[in-house]
Structure 1
Amino acid sequence: MNKAVRILNLEPLHYSANAQAVLETLGDVTNGPLSRNELLEKIGVFDVLVTRLGHQIDKEALNAANSLKVIVSATTGLNHIDMEVAQDKKITILSLQGEREFLDSIHATAEHSFALIFSLYRKIPSAHQSVMNGHWDRDSFIGNELQGKKLGIIGLGRLGTKVANFAKAFDITVYAYDTNPAVSMDGIENTSSLNEIADLCDIITIHIPSSKENKNFIASDFFNRMKRNAILINTSRGDVVDQVALLSSLKDKKIAAAALDVLEEEYNGNLGTSPLIEYARNHENLIITPHIGGATYESMHKTELFMAQKLQRFFLSQA
């Protein structure tokens, strides 16, 4: 393979050794990490950029990338990349989008959805903190069981389907809404409207992609219809939920609780001023994790190797 190809691996921490070996057969590999300023200074000489979610590959970065031909992102979502600028510059984007057969072997985010459900239902974070503060107070942390509850899944794609299958093991009644009416699966109740999910369900999980159409897909009208004892789980992307409406609903006790693995601010650098993070500091009915849904060694190493091999196939197709 052409050793003149210059590859920048932006986030090598915990990166798959097997994937790294594949990259090294393709060209000269430079490993990060890089600061934002270092990225802008150095990106111009590289042909290939390998990234996760730790950097915004925005207009400024892409305009500095004078030699860049390929971006490799081991993600399904691509809102960390300015796709319009990349297209204008004729940069090829290789990602996990559309790789359904491979992605069926990746379980991390669906499992994390249930971790968040358990964290809320069994009050695990606050119970742990109480013990760390020197208390042993069982009665303050009485929770809820999953058995017999109604779970509403918004988006019955790969992740929604996995969550539905997990739910069946807990004897949960599963309802699902998808904008594509042809999408269905055995053993669940398909609903004809989003409102039915809000009206019926005790637990609601979101599994839809970020897009212009899906921005604020879950907004105040939905929260106003939810049961007061219902909880919301979002492991998809932050901008699919109207965060102002969510915060208001939590403050006004229109819903019981929420757990988020994603925030809209994670892509604009304003996490330090996030009203949701500020609220969560002092309220137990909001749990936030730093987009770790897909962050398991198993899933990351599988996807990194898959993407390195996808880059390898891309180069072979260009030969």
Structure 2
Amino acid sequence: MSKLSLPKDKIKFVLLENVHDNAVAYLRQHGYENIDVHKGALDADALKDAVRDAHVVGIRSRTKLTEDVLKAAEKLVAVGAFCIGTNQINLGAAKHLGVPVFNAPYSNTRSVAELVLAEIIMLARGIPRRNWISHEGGWDKSAKGSTEVRGKTLGIVGYGHIGTQLSVIAEALGMKVRFFDIVDKLPMGNAAACMSLKELMETSDFVSLHVPDTPQTRNMITDTELGWMKQGAFLLNAARGQIVDIDALADHLRTGHLAGAAIDVFPVEPASVEDVFESPLRGMKNVILTPHIGGSTQEAQANIGTEVAEKLVKYSDNGSTVGAVNFPEVMLPVHVGGARFMHIHRNVPGVISKINDVFSRRGLNIVGQYLRTDEEVGYVVVDVDGIIEPGMGVRRDLEAIEGTIRTRFLNCEEP
């Protein structure tokens, strides 16, 4: 049997923005040595040049993979976002080019939860203001406005991986935990669900946001929702910048309705360290401002490096798309023997029958077939048993099927 797939040493990875060394180590452990590492982000023109011959591109949050950049990478088969969010990637364009995008949605869970818990304690003790006063030479030892968090109510909006982790460690400190999620969730420990966002906002001393960036969550916390909060309550946002109306939050802080806030994400964030950070919250002595560092710990970055690299290797080696954010997810058995073909196509009728016909006309027996679709694209993986030689035209005929976006071929057996 001829080995027709691209050898691993020919598959080029381009990693930008100082992706953690764990990623490079994992790739090399699995036979990928052609790795081009860049420590920083690149502007559009330099980025196009860097990815032009790349098969896999790995980025973090500052690199913008626009449709133009993706189209410039003509050999691209996958993208790894070594972070949580994927707003910096044109996911639709990537899907229509047959390029799945993988991220690391869970690797920073503990880091974000620890930061939020620390900020809750800092806000309860009035540390932001006292720190400011001390730096200016003052000395405020008063207990006024300073409380323990034990016995206070923490309201968590979004009870996913981070929300549940925060719930557990907050309860360990003696806090009462309430949560609200649009999906029914099993409470952890003694946490109790709220029937509505309004109920949570009205009953919580601290409200912490942990929802994804979706059309439903953008501007979900406006002047109205902030008005529901208790007098003297605190708001924390380490989720996404578009969730909170920052101007409205600033107003509620100025009037004294809210006692303080801790914000890690913003509607508009500087594109680089040289740019000035602008926000109506600047200068407020009862507000903790952090530069989107919820997941910026050594442990989180190491975990992200391994998690995303593992997903990229599985896709390259095996065709598995589990964990892709823009693509039908197909969980595949380990590919042993035979040949594996992957076909990405527009989701139109008749494609599967035409794929099967390509193999049946050559007397190739299909021993496994795995298909998933969404409203736009289909992804089918076919394992065949039989002798496949160069010149048989299998790939040519697969690519000729109407609606085809991309084909790949894996063959793990040596000639």
User: TM > 0.5 between the two?
Assistant: yes
Check conservation: 2:108, 2:295, Cα contact below 8 A.
no
1:234-245 → structure 2 map (5 Å cutoff)? 234-245=237-248
Q: Report what 2:303 is aligned to.
A: 302
Q: Report what 1:217 is aligned to.
A: 220
SS of corresponding position for 1:256: strand
Identity %: 27
Check conservation: 1:150, 1:175, Cα contact below 8 A.
yes
Moved more, 153-162 or 85-94: 85-94
Structure 2 alignment gaps of length 5 or more: 1-6, 320-409, 411-415
How far the C-alpha of 1:184 sits from its partner, in A, is 3.2
Give the partner amino acid of 1:120.
L
Check conservation: 1:56, 1:267, Cα contact below 8 A.
no
| Whole-Å separation in 1 of the counterparts to 2:75 and 2:305 | 23
1:52 pairs with 37, 42, 60, which one? 60
Moved more, 86-95 or 159-168: 86-95
| Whole-Å separation in 2 of the counterparts to 1:312 and 1:273 | 37
Check conservation: 1:223, 1:254, Cα contact below 8 A.
no
Q: Report what 1:311 is aligned to.
A: 312
Kindly tell me: are residues 141 and 128 of structure 1, through their superposed partners in 2, closer, same or farther at Cα, counting changes over 3 Å? Answer: farther
Q: Report what 1:198 is aligned to.
A: 201
Check conservation: 1:56, 1:80, Cα contact below 8 A.
yes
Check conservation: 1:69, 1:91, Cα contact below 8 A.
yes
Check conservation: 1:122, 1:141, Cα contact below 8 A.
no
How far the C-alpha of 1:80 sits from its partner, in A, is 2.1
Q: Does 1:177 align with 2:184?
A: no
Kindly tell me: are residues 290 and 36 of structure 1, through their superposed partners in 2, closer, same or farther at Cα, counting changes over 3 Å? Answer: same
How far the C-alpha of 1:68 sits from its partner, in A, is 2.1
Give the partner amino acid of 1:127.
R
| Whole-Å separation in 2 of the counterparts to 1:313 and 1:195 | 43
Check conservation: 2:159, 2:185, Cα contact below 8 A.
no
1:122-133 → structure 2 map (5 Å cutoff)? 122-133=125-136
Kindly tell me: are residues 135 and 182 of structure 1, through their superposed partners in 2, closer, same or farther at Cα, counting changes over 3 Å? Answer: closer
Q: Report what 1:100 is aligned to.
A: none
Moved more, 174-183 or 158-167: 174-183
Give the partner amino acid of 1:43.
V
Give the partner amino acid of 1:44.
R
Q: Does 1:35 align with 2:42?
A: yes
SS of corresponding position for 1:166: helix
Q: Report what 1:164 is aligned to.
A: 167
Higher strand share: 2
Check conservation: 1:259, 1:286, Cα contact below 8 A.
yes
Q: Report what 1:73 is aligned to.
A: 81
Q: Does 1:3 align with 2:9?
A: yes
How far the C-alpha of 1:294 sits from its partner, in A, is 0.9
How far the C-alpha of 1:304 sits from its partner, in A, is 0.6
| Whole-Å separation in 2 of the counterparts to 1:29 and 1:122 | 48
| Whole-Å separation in 1 of the counterparts to 2:254 and 2:174 | 31
Kindly tell me: are residues 113 and 182 of structure 1, through their superposed partners in 2, closer, same or farther at Cα, counting changes over 3 Å? Answer: closer
SS of corresponding position for 2:252: helix
| Whole-Å separation in 2 of the counterparts to 1:115 and 1:309 | 32
| Whole-Å separation in 1 of the counterparts to 2:67 and 2:144 | 48
| Whole-Å separation in 2 of the counterparts to 1:7 and 1:79 | 21
Give the partner amino acid of 1:315.
S
Q: Does 1:293 align with 2:288?
A: no
Kindly tell me: are residues 295 and 217 of structure 1, through their superposed partners in 2, closer, same or farther at Cα, counting changes over 3 Å? Answer: same
Give the partner amino acid of 1:300.
Q
Q: Does 1:208 align with 2:215?
A: no
Check conservation: 2:151, 2:174, Cα contact below 8 A.
yes
| Whole-Å separation in 2 of the counterparts to 1:167 and 1:140 | 23
Check conservation: 2:108, 2:301, Cα contact below 8 A.
no
How far the C-alpha of 1:142 sits from its partner, in A, is 5.6
Residues 183-209 of structure 1 deviation map (CA, whole Å, 9 limit, x = unaligned)? 433411211000001111110001110
Give the partner amino acid of 2:10.
A
Check conservation: 1:80, 1:267, Cα contact below 8 A.
no
Give the partner amino acid of 1:3.
D
How far the C-alpha of 1:74 sits from its partner, in A, is 2.8
Give the partner amino acid of 2:200.
I
Give the partner amino acid of 1:302.
N
Check conservation: 1:151, 1:202, Cα contact below 8 A.
yes
| Whole-Å separation in 2 of the counterparts to 1:267 and 1:61 | 21
How far the C-alpha of 1:110 sits from its partner, in A, is 0.7
Check conservation: 1:127, 1:141, Cα contact below 8 A.
no
Kindly tell me: are residues 66 and 158 of structure 1, through their superposed partners in 2, closer, same or farther at Cα, counting changes over 3 Å? Answer: same
1:274 pairs with 273, 278, 282, which one? 278
| Whole-Å separation in 2 of the counterparts to 1:287 and 1:40 | 38
Check conservation: 2:125, 2:145, Cα contact below 8 A.
yes
Q: Report what 1:118 is aligned to.
A: 121
Structure 1 alignment gaps of length 5 or more: 98-102
Residues 235-275 of structure 1 deviation map (CA, whole Å, 9 limit, x = unaligned)? 11111222232233223333222111111212878x74633
Count residues with an aligned counterpart: 309
